[in-house]
Structure 1
Amino acid sequence: MPVTRSLPLGRAHEVAGGALALDRAGAGGPPVVVLPGAGLVGLDYLNVHTAAAEFTTSVLYDRAGTGWSDPVALPRTAADVATELRDLLRAAGIAGPYVLAGHSLGASYARRFAQLFPAEVAGLLLLDPGHEDLFAHLPAEAAGLNDRMKQAAAELPDLTESQLRSAREQYGALFAEWPPEAREPLVEHHLTTWRTVVAETANEDAVYAELRDGGELPDVPLIVLTAMGRNPYWTQFGSEELIEAAQRGIRDLHASIAAGVPRGEHRVLDDATHQFLHIERKDAVLRAIRDLIAAG
């Protein structure tokens, strides 16, 4: 049942006692459902959503505790997020099976959905995903690099006025193609909720344990996109050599994910970065969605 509230995009639906924001665009199927990365929200993917709606039904949403959905305690289990999404899609009257496009942490949630509800998945698109076997593919020093980055993120002080002005300009440029009625609330949202990424990923090891013990993925088409563009934030914590080795390890991990299922494919994007690959290479994301629909 839709809930009356002011949203920059879409409508809110009541699910398990809370209201969740969802926007549906386009027609046909299978519907593609975007699962945002940690700290991101549905509106971050408006460019992909608008373009995908030209050839299928496209769905953006904010999971509970993020965006314009009701707050909940974070972090959450992958099973809770997956079950919530299933209930939301039913409440919104969007029938499966679905192509799930999960970015980063959202890819873990997409995989958990596929483990729990295999008959409701038509395809999987994993955008630069994390994985429970990550550190088996990385140099030993990468674990320390990861710990240092996590600790630094958790200890960041509030942004100064100068930092807020700079971030507002950067986000404004990043979302320049978004219409003002979407861009302005999205920029302000990121400036006030940037700590969500820390909260959502606080139980990363537990989520990976869920996936490891959660069973096989269904035999559906799967595409993994790897972003090989350099993240300048990483260079504050590790040497150039370590970062290059870590990126090669991530690429190899993603190749193994694709090779581990009957209909998996791995595609490498040398000119895209982890956080914004869907903006920097929208074309590659849309091509993958089209290919998964055609292969289903």
Structure 2
Amino acid sequence: MTRLTPSARPESALPQPPLGRLYDVGGRRLMLHRSGSGGPTVVFLPGAGLVGLDYLNTQSRAAELTTSVLYDRAGTGWSEEVELPRSAAEVTGELRDLLRAAGVPTPYVLVGHSLGGAYARHYTQRFPDEVAGLLLLDPFHEDLLDHTSQGVREKLEKMYRQDLPEATHEQLQQARDWATPFFAKWPAPVRRPLIEHHLATWRTGYYEARNVYDDVADELRHAPGLPDVPLIVLTALGYDATQARLWSEETLRENNSIKATLHKHLAASVPRGELRTLDDAGHGWLHEEQPESVLQAITDLLRRSAV
């Protein structure tokens, strides 16, 4: 599939992150923030369109339990630019190198959201000895497209083949009006830079996800099966504003039903897998809409991985 580089943030404009630091990994600067102590280490893998600091509130609470890490993939957040989309192998190899460069000890409990859930699975498939547990937050599943309707497939294909137009002043103002109260829960030094970053780079998630239904899906299918590690899949079935703008209510119900079935099979693919359903959280921000459920799942995986 065509590889595109978002033009919203040229490399020369790469700013210092408001939290965390930049590490040199293979000649490329990548952002990582670490807090807490002990093990296993909890590592957050963002969904497409989100960045590491979007998980700061949950990451900070996990740091009260153990070492807790968030980061930005290359081409996203405060990490250095790279052509998008990328393969799962590129992303997971990069994460491994970053964690080593930052001296983050194994084993890891990986917390992967959406596209980040696919990457968390792929990391576990590639490096099973380094993973103590796996929490998947409404993760992408490689068989999702095969089970959806023809209309959904055609719309997705059309959507990912077109280039996104520039946002209008009115659209950016609407986004700012939404983001300002939403991000009020973030620490003051992080809040404004995070909002401004999202407004400036809103197309990045679209570019990053362009190969998820073909290339990344094939990588998941052809990788080894998941090892016998504790696994919790959180499926979000509540209202999501972004998805509501894309799909009709009927299509959303159908897609949620398919997703729930695939997540159930995924949880059952390992001996210690478990499915938990969130009826009052949407896909994009379930970690903020149901933070206690996410933190409880992390706590349970830390306990189970120690057994």
What TM-score results when the alignment is normalised by the length of structure 1?
A: 0.93
The offset of 1:198, in angstroms, is: 1.4
- Residue 291 (structure 1) aligned with residue 300 (structure 2): yes
Equivalent position to 1:221, from 200, 221, 230: 230
1:169-220, Cα deviation, whole Å (9 max, x unpaired):
2111211110121010000000010110111011111011011001111110
Residues 96 and 160 (structure 1), Cα distance of their counterparts in 2 relative to 1, 3 Å cut: same
Equivalent position to 2:60, from 44, 50, 59: 50
Q: Where does residue 168 of structure 2 map in the other structure?
A: 160
CA contact (8 A) 1:34 1:60 kept: yes
What pairs with 1:113-192 in structure 2 (closer than 5 Å)? 113-147=123-157, 149-150=159-160, 154-192=162-200
CA contact (8 A) 2:240 2:281 kept: no
1:104-151, Cα deviation, whole Å (9 max, x unpaired):
000111111111110000001110011111134444543234345546
Q: Secondary structure at the residue paired with 2:185?
A: coil
Q: Where does residue 208 of structure 2 map in the other structure?
A: 200
CA RMSD, Structure 1 to Structure 2 (Å)? 1.6
Q: Where does residue 14 of structure 1 map in the other structure?
A: 24
Amino acid aligned to 1:157: P
Amino acid aligned to 1:279: E
Q: Secondary structure at the residue paired with 2:19?
A: coil
Q: Secondary structure at the residue paired with 2:38?
A: coil
The offset of 1:230, in angstroms, is: 2.3
CA distance in structure 1 between the partners assigned to 2:243 and 2:31 by the alignment: 33
Amino acid aligned to 1:77: S
Equivalent position to 1:252, from 246, 251, 261: 261
Percentage identity across paired residues of the two chains: 56
Which segments of 5 or more consecutive residues in structure 2 lack a partner in the other structure? 1-14
Q: How many residues align?
A: 290
After TM superposition, the structure 1 stretch with the greater mean CA deviation from structure 2, 228-237 or 208-217, is 228-237
CA distance in structure 1 between the partners assigned to 2:90 and 2:292 by the alignment: 32
CA distance in structure 1 between the partners assigned to 2:266 and 2:18 by the alignment: 36
Q: Secondary structure at the residue paired with 1:175?
A: helix
CA distance in structure 2 between the partners assigned to 1:7 and 1:285 by the alignment: 25
1:216-242, Cα deviation, whole Å (9 max, x unpaired):
111100000011012344444543222
Amino acid aligned to 2:285: F
CA contact (8 A) 2:109 2:131 kept: yes
After TM superposition, the structure 1 stretch with the greater mean CA deviation from structure 2, 127-136 or 117-126, is 127-136
What TM-score results when the alignment is normalised by the length of structure 2?
A: 0.90
Q: Secondary structure at the residue paired with 2:112?
A: strand
Q: Where does residue 211 of structure 1 map in the other structure?
A: 220
Amino acid aligned to 1:66: T
After TM superposition, the structure 1 stretch with the greater mean CA deviation from structure 2, 108-117 or 154-163, is 154-163
After TM superposition, the structure 1 stretch with the greater mean CA deviation from structure 2, 139-148 or 170-179, is 139-148
Q: Where does residue 273 of structure 1 map in the other structure?
A: 282
Amino acid aligned to 1:253: L
Residues 242 and 179 (structure 1), Cα distance of their counterparts in 2 relative to 1, 3 Å cut: same
CA distance in structure 1 between the partners assigned to 2:19 and 2:278 by the alignment: 30
What pairs with 1:62-141 in structure 2 (closer than 5 Å)? 62-141=72-151
Amino acid aligned to 2:54: D
Which segments of 5 or more consecutive residues in structure 1 lack a partner in the other structure? none
CA distance in structure 2 between the partners assigned to 1:165 and 1:143 by the alignment: 32
Q: Secondary structure at the residue paired with 1:216?
A: coil
Q: Secondary structure at the residue paired with 1:67?
A: coil
Amino acid aligned to 1:202: R
CA distance in structure 2 between the partners assigned to 1:19 and 1:233 by the alignment: 31
Amino acid aligned to 2:168: T
Residues 49 and 234 (structure 1), Cα distance of their counterparts in 2 relative to 1, 3 Å cut: closer
CA distance in structure 1 between the partners assigned to 2:295 and 2:148 by the alignment: 29
